[in-house]
Structure 1
Amino acid sequence: MERAHSLLLNEEACSQLGDHQRATFVFEWLNHLKKLLPAAERANVRHNQRRLTEQLSGVLIGSPGPPTRRLLAHCLALLYRLGDPFTASLLVDRCNDIIRSRDDSPSGLPTRLAAITVLGSVFEQLGRLLLGSFKETLMNLLKAMKSAESQGRYETMRSLEKILRGLGVSAAPCHRDVYKAARTCLADRSMAVRRAAAECLLELQREAVFLWTSELENVSTLCFRALDGSNYSVRVSVSRLLGTLLAAAVEPRQPTAVPRQSGRGRSSLEEAMDLLSGGFLRGGAGFLRARGDMLKGTSSVSKEVRIGVTQSCVFFVSLLGSSWLEVNFPVLLSLLMELASHLRATQTAGDAAVTRRCVSFILRSTVSSLLGEKAQTNAAKHICSAVATQQQAVGEQRERRRVDTVT
């Protein structure tokens, strides 16, 4: 395998190997090429670029597996970034042709997935140099995704995330199209597709102001539904997305004239906590379903949703920072105490236990990690005061019941 360690693929040695050995040989060559290209002289890269492109294109149409196609995409993106970038549009056109093809053979799917992966990496590295091919590529990816299987939807979401990262604000005319596609994938049956959609939306919100203004409530509801039945990786990605959007709504990164869907006379913190509380108490269910479950004494909100909402709250506060938390801690604590004592959050002993653990986790993860010693002392005083108030209220309620029983 040492013969694979060169800038160009040793095709003579590769042709003498069996199928499985050849795949390993190509993989090791790509892995070495990934390390060699950044260290090579640009003149040498440009000198070998044409031949390298042909060899890498051969790997592209050779039905590569997932590890190989990721290395292939990375190497092609590096090659065009370090070499001559102006021929990259030819590669983009070729990848688009592969995605448009109706080849349903066993080798067709891996080739299409590799083409999707390559498009994402090339756009991420070259960015605005490929702006002329962006709209056609995006429409092609979105059209192909409608009939794609879960693996295709996953790779498309990953590529869209990279394309958005590479183009930045230049992709603004198509932000709504990406949002509609990611919104559908956020409720996908496949956990990998949900996670990829959440990460795509996380990249989209950097430039798409409407996600944390006019569409904030809709995206929040989608996040609650995505958390239902989710695994750990999905919960982390969706929680980071929701927490980031809420933090941007409370303290906007850029001025905007788009109004938020909010009530009168209420602060942004209360709006954000209302959204989180709604998810914690009702999940992604509608009002009628949640009301019916409450009347029957059951809970329609899964433990995964409540854990995800808890993580979102931690991300939300962490992004706003220690100074914000120190100033707004009394209000935040009051809202958390209201949540912990809500009837819908304590319908059963299990629900009450989960709620207590979630509120404790929020306080522990924010106060202990963000605040200094003096601020922690003040926070502890507020917590003690809130606990004393709750105990007094419980004591008064018990006394009233005792008096009513005696009389």
Structure 2
Amino acid sequence: MEVSQSLTLNEAALQQLPDDKKPHFIFEWLRFLDKTDIKNCQQKLVAQLVNLLRENLGPPARRVLARCLATLFSVGDTFLLFDTVNKCNDIIKVKDDSPSYLPTRLAAICCLGSMYEKLGRMMGRSYEETVTNLVRGVRAAAAHVLRSMLPLQKLTATDVDAIAAACLRAAHPSDYQLRCAIAELLGALFAATQAGDATSITTKNKLGMPPALNLLMGAFLRGGTSFLKGEIIKSGSGVNREVRVCVTHAYVNFVQNMGGVWLERNMTTFLNHVLDLVANPKAASSHVDAVYSRKCINYILRNTLGKMLGEKAQASACREIIQIHLLVCALTEAGELSLQLGTSVHNLVADNTLKMIDTIFTVTLEGRAGALSALHSLLVHCPALEC
């Protein structure tokens, strides 16, 4: 290990070693490094240490690497300090959650922690970006904590607005786990605003169902802006799709928190709201956004009407939804409900006041794929219609 005890890393010797020996070689060099005068070759040392961040180091080597970087800037010059901090922040910001990238991210976090501890105010205002990056890693845990605390808090309407806006800001960027955690929090938060629900919202600040649904609509259409103040995004970029998916899950969680009885009683209002949502121009600023929004609405309908209602209520939902036939997702859900009802769908087909088949055929002539899907579902259980 004598070759590892030099002021700069002997890269030629390192490359000649087998993979299982390289971490030991680097560890020995790092241990020796802070005992030497480093000012004369600081720039090269900084470059070599920063390159080691991506070498999948273990915990001992990470700690020594962090200590050496902090010592390097403490003893030597600080002209490369902020450049090093920026490189560490860039490593943390990379959207790679694979196990192979975890040691690299942990090494960057460890180095930043050691430098902040040893250098203090010399780090300036760089902590703002660092804290922002690190907070992103605990967003899902924070959402779970807030969800557990909801029953213990006395929230005002302003608090609801602030929490919801913070949730949607946290949803971009996000992964599936984070979106589910935020959606669970939003669903519970809006459910708590309903009269007769949990007592976490003060009586004078209770919201009815339409205002609560409008809050979710504002989130779906406008993203993380202030709901209660009615602010609208003025840029033409539209809502990020990650946020829209998160709000879609929040709709489902909201209805699940309210329960199947609530959904059955408020079915007409809920259906009108959801289908008006996908018909809103802001939900379809482009063809791709329109298709994406329809997928979101179909998900909401399938996981509420299709999974929370009994047979009688599903038949009632089918009656409601077939009367609002102008939307592709409404027809798709009508078909799904027909499949789920099985032979009971005969009663709907035979209902002359509903005119279910005539309504679907009217839309079929316009070439709507949703209408064809609904007809196919009916023919599965009503083969006599083929005649």
TM, length-normalised to structure 1 = 0.46
- Greater percentage in helix: 1
Structure with larger Rg: 2
